[in-house]
Amino acid sequence: MGYKVVVVGATGNVGREMLNILDERAFPIEEIAVLASRRSLGTEVSFGDRTLKTQDLAAFDFTGWDIALFAVGSEATKEYAPKAASQGCVVIDNSSLYRMDPDVPLVVPEVNADAVMGYTKKNIIANPNCSTAQMVVALKPLHDRARIKRVVVSTYQSVSGTGKDAIDELWNQTKGMYVPGQEVEPSVYPRQIAFNVIPHIDVFMEDGGTKEEWKMMVETKKILDPAIKLTATCVRVPVFVGHAESINIEFEEFLDEDEARDILREAPGILVIDKREPGGYVTPVECVGDYATFISRIRQDGTVENGLNLWCVSDNLRKGAALNAVQIAEVLGQKALKKG
């Protein structure tokens, strides 16, 4: 017995990773369908040792299918996710559309796996923002021990979080810096991304923050604890894959850095690499293709009462998107559907 699974947006970066991870983790599949927009119709994608042809999302009937992993933008999700859900297929959505819907659970399995059971209200489960997902994996075990009051986070987010066009822009701009006549003007980003950092992800809001920063705040409250205060500065950096975060945490109780290190070492989904020597930490280059959220640079912050600093790195296409979605599907199967 296995599940009938649909991957929506199978030709994109996240959709392809979903297929890779379903195969790697030997998710119990009876049948699989890969969907894309009409312009990508017939494109071939890999699933293990098989090659699958994409079908038309607009014409697809979700009746009889168990789980649909959505890796398309909010507009397409708004049109097709309710259709899939109404036809009895549970949607696990990677877009931002349903994250703050009170009738849709927002889930990171290492943090709030039990929330999956709330899917019955709309037949939809939301995947959090990539930068939120890796951060709450790190915060959860520490919060359980000493209760977090406030978080200050600065992110260093790779271009793959934007999509394939952004990857191409970084690649072509970098080449263009060295080859006269091949210079590339910014089009995906408002400023040059090659050899630069851009303190702007998503749209600006009235308070001067960006929507990405707002997402980190509200999603953390929904997933982990509404009492946590969080402020974020989200920055795009010239890295292809892998998000990094500098996280400053203020607790209600004192938490020693050594105890924090031990807690994180035992926590699900985390690998601690924290040697106080050159190279004794993880950078985005090393995290690519890995399931883990890596924690380094754990140290006391003496400028506030009960403060701690840490460095958090993860593959944004995996834990930040595709892996988390597949983990949700695994939990859904174990707790509710029970076919595999």
H-helix segments, 130-177: 130-146, 164-176
d(CA 151, CA 225): 12
Contacts of 184 (CB under 8 A, 6+ apart): 169, 172, 173, 176
Q: Which of 105, 163, 102, 103 is nearest to 130 (CA)?
A: 163
Burial class (CB in 10 A: 0-12, 13-18, 19+), 174: middle
Going by the annotation, the residues of the binding site are: 11-14, 39-40, 99, 157, 160-161, 236, 316
**Which residue is catalytic, options 130, 234, 287, 312?**
130
Please indicate whether residue 130 is annotated as part of the active site.
yes
8 A C-beta contact, residue 35 and residue 54: yes
Beta bridge partners of 268: none
299-308: b or e for each residue (b if 16 or more CB lie within 10 Å)?
eebeeeebbb
The two three-digit tokens of residue 205, written as one number: 């809001």
Is 243 a known active-site residue? yes
Binding-site residue ranges for NADP(+): 11-14, 39-40, 160-161, 316
* 73 conformational bin, left if phi > 0, alpha if psi -120 to 50, beta if neither: beta
d(CA 24, CA 63): 27
Binding site for substrate, by residue number, is: 157, 236
Name residue, tokens 């890969």: 34
Among 234, 243, 287, 312, the one annotated catalytic: 243
Sequence-distant (6+) residues with CB within 8 A of 38 are 56, 58
Indicate the annotated binding residues for phosphate: 99
User: Which uninterrupted H or E stretch holds 284?
Assistant: helix 284-287
- State which amino acid sits at residue 307: G
Q: Give the residue numbers marked as catalytic.
A: 130, 243
